[in-house]
Structure 1
């Protein structure tokens, strides 16, 4: 049994490696182009209230007693999640947004 090594420019593995390298470079170039165009077109608008909170002008409204009771229920394993309640609240939120 004879095993032959590198055959010069006719090596199919060398050709595949060259194609892979070229395709990888093209893909990287396309990704960089897409990244640049995405960065240029992305914008975020915050509500006035959100801007005030971010600047520290207004404290967000947090019910510390409710937070403490939820933490306690979660830690003790007594916090029950109702999929129906979550779905109802999500749909109510969607309905409110439609009205605006």
Structure 2
């Protein structure tokens, strides 16, 4: 095998190793997807459900009181971290609270 052939073979091996490394890194960093947020009006609870991907997700709700006698602080309620296909539900949101925003955190 001459030097040119060896260099080409080595270059091909390096490119193949880099491609494999990139594929492994991409699959290891996958996160949940196809996520939805829902609200139960009777309990004032919010939930998140992700149905695809891997990893974990949780519901996050930012809210504040509308009572002028209470501080105007914004509060955050978190649901537990759960896997794809499981529901994360948050409670502890005060009745009559104004919801500032909701989100699904992914990891």
TM interval, shorter chain, is 0.3 to 0.5
Q: 1 or 2, which has the higher helix percentage?
A: 1
Larger Rg: 1
Q: 1 or 2, which has the higher strand percentage?
A: 2
In the superposition, the TM-score normalised over structure 2's length comes to 0.32
